[in-house]
């Protein structure tokens, strides 16, 4: 693993997210206060583009089926917005999986992610 520059600090406002492509891989980069978080940009449920979702604190919500993950460690908060039988059947086909996260560091104005 090695740190790769994915953005600069002026590219992200507080409580915002962007998608960056690094070696053909989509990375989600988020800023919350003065902390930066990075994860796979594609939702592990059905591949929704997380950078097009919403961010509340460190919780990202997928725009597709409203799965939620904490960017601090990738744990699943809500797998989908399905309910009842649809939720049970959905879990049989795609069991909940955490979001892969990456370590971030800032050097001057460079935001680097450990890929």
Domain boundaries, the chain: 3-107
Mean pLDDT of 102-107: 97
For 55-103, the pLDDT digits (tens) are: 999 999 999 989 999 999 999 999 887 677 666 666 656 678 999 999 9
pLDDT for residue 114:
95
In angstroms, the CA 112 to CA 48 distance is: 24
pLDDT for residue 32:
97
pLDDT for residue 87:
62
Mean pLDDT of 27-44: 97
Q: Across all residues in the chain, what is the average pLDDT?
A: 91
Spatial CA neighbour of 31 closest among 115, 109, 87, 86 = 109
pLDDT for residue 45:
87
In angstroms, the CA 105 to CA 94 distance is: 33
In angstroms, the CA 31 to CA 45 distance is: 23
pTM of the predicted protein model = 0.88
Domain 3-107 has CATH 3.80.10.10: no
């Amino acid at each position: 693993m090695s740190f790769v520059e994915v953005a600069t600090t002026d590219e992200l406002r507080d409580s915002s997210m962007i998608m960056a492509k690094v070696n053909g891989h989509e990375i989600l980069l988020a800023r919350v206060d003065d902390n930066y978080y990075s994860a796979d940009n594609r939702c592990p449920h059905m591949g929704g583009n997380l950078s097009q979702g919403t961010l509340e604190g460190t919780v990202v919500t997928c725009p597709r089926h409203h799965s939620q993950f904490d960017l601090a460690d990738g744990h699943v908060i809500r797998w989908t917005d399905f309910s009842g039988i649809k939720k049970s059947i959905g879990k049989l086909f795609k069991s909940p999986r955490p979001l892969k996260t990456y370590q971030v560091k800032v050097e001057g104005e460079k935001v680097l992610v450990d890929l």
